[in-house]
Amino acid sequence: MHGAGHRVAITGYGVVAPCGTGKQQFWSGLLGPGFSGAKSIEIADWDPSPWFDSPKDARRADRVEQFTLAAAAEALAQSGPLPHDPARIGTIFGTGIGGLRTLEEQVVVRVEKGERRVSPFLVPMMMSNASGAAISMRYGFQGPSETICTACAASTHALGYAARLVSWGTCDAVLSGGAESAGTVTAIAGFANMTAISSSLVSRPFDAARDGFIMGEGAAVFVLERLDLALARGATVIGEIIGAASNADAHHITAPSPGGAGAARCMRAALADAGIAPDDIRQINAHGTSTPLNDAAEAEAIRTVFGESTPPTVSIKGVTGHPLGAAGALEAAAVLLSFEHRLIPPTAGTTTVDPACGIDVVTGSPRPWEPGPTISNNFGFGGHNGSVVLAPYSG
């Protein structure tokens, strides 16, 4: 983060997603065909038992928390043990909704069986901060433990804030990212009735025929660490967070500001925070939800910031669905994998890019590239905008 202090290294990350659990399975999924045919895409045959001591412990964690602990385990296995003072290791996490599945199940229990049958674990399972708190408690991290709840921008905001805590020297390391599993019957009905969900049941970001998103779920967790401390302990540095920004449209509860003005300001602020120019960006991982308004506004914002010759742009929501508050975390993981494999994955599901968008959307097959600074965007209901800039580590 430009001029702020310490450089922020990423030394481990883990992923749970509908297109693959574990980093490399996730990458294979990113290169696969788009998802279609349902209002929601879920992780098939999910079994939380490998990450819990007993079936009872697993049952006392909502599905969103189960995803979180699985992703955190993979992240920390890669980073290796953190030798820092536990009081200086934070947990800054993002979610849009939290344990909605537990809430909905227990409402049904109360209606059908009465108040006395409601689980005493309802509150700790449904609360939005449960996932981040679970990482902190499982691993004994005693630094700042906070949850950001800004709809679909939540985990991008979490990563930005976590990186600042490291950059400022407040923390030596922070576990960050986001998780979501909110595809309940009622939630899907609510999104469908506000016409946000694709009526054709196809996610096709920036496509001329796009007509809404498909719900997704998942989690990604990252180990952010002071670069000097990471190198001193012999850790492998996977990449860096070099800038981030957050702002508000202050326009409408669900619609983006006209022309993507807020998104453009957010991207420019993130670039300024990173101390780089628009020409330095080599890839954009777009929010690209596949809704007509969001994609048009984001495309206009990209043209505003980057001019007519825009960087290669991808949205991964054709294979992940729209995982709401987990979106930014899964997209940051996709960026790190893009660095590793020297490929930009295609925008699955998209066949005919809307000419009105006027941006360079990667479609069809992965595009070879020379990894460089990449900006990832997320925008949430409430007018929340978030951008984070990741870069390969080059010493």
> Residue 309's closest CA among 267, 269, 359?
359
Q: Is residue 44 part of a domain?
A: yes
pTM of the model: 0.97
Q: Is residue 76 part of a domain?
A: yes
Residue 115 φ/ψ, nearest 5 degrees: -60, -35
Question: Cα(first)–Cα(last) distance of the chain, in Å?
Answer: 15
Q: Is residue 3 part of a domain?
A: no
Mean pLDDT, consecutive 10-residue stretches, the chain (395 aa), reads 86 97 97 93 96 96 98 98 97 97 98 98 98 98 98 98 98 98 97 95 97 97 98 98 96 90 97 98 98 96 96 97 98 98 98 97 98 97 96 94
Helix 23-30, helix 327-341: angle, nearest 10: 90
Q: Is residue 92 part of a domain?
A: yes
Q: What is the pLDDT of residue 3?
A: 66
Number of structural domains, the chain?
Answer: 1
DSSP summary character for residue 35: P
| CA separation, residue 15 to residues 68, 261, 291, 369 (Å) | 9, 32, 25, 23
CA–CA gap between residue 268 and residue 24 (Å, rounded): 32
Q: Is residue 43 part of a domain?
A: yes
> Residue 286's closest CA among 304, 272, 298, 273?
298
For 313, left (φ over 0), alpha (ψ -120 to 50), or beta?
A: beta
CA–CA gap between residue 205 and residue 348 (Å, rounded): 8
Around Cβ 217, how many Cβ atoms within 10 Å?
A: 28
Buried b (16+ CB within 10 A) or exposed e, 4-35: bebbbbbbbbbbbbbbbbebeebbebbbeebb
CA–CA gap between residue 359 and residue 260 (Å, rounded): 14
- How far is C-alpha 383 from the chain's CA centre? 17
Question: At 366, which CATH number?
Answer: 3.40.47.10
DSSP summary character for residue 255: S
Q: Is residue 377 part of a domain?
A: yes
> Residue 265's closest CA among 314, 311, 289, 301?
301
119-122-123 Cα angle (round to 5): 140
CA–CA gap between residue 186 and residue 178 (Å, rounded): 22
Cβ contact 205:211 at 8 Å: no
CA–CA gap between residue 148 and residue 125 (Å, rounded): 17
- What residues form DSSP beta bridges with 391? 240
Alpha helices in the chain (DSSP H): 23-30, 55-59, 63-79, 100-113, 122-126, 130-139, 154-167, 185-193, 227-232, 261-274, 292-306, 317-320, 327-341
Task: Identify residue 6 by its one-letter amino acid code.
Answer: H
Around Cβ 124, how many Cβ atoms within 10 Å?
A: 18
Q: Is residue 63 part of a domain?
A: yes
DSSP summary character for residue 53: S
CA–CA gap between residue 69 and residue 71 (Å, rounded): 5
Cβ contact 358:334 at 8 Å: no
Cβ contact 165:92 at 8 Å: yes
Q: Which domain holds residue 373?
A: 8-391
For 252, left (φ over 0), alpha (ψ -120 to 50), or beta?
A: beta
- Three-state SS for 174? strand
Q: Is residue 73 part of a domain?
A: yes
Query: Active-site residue numbers?
Result: 152, 287, 322
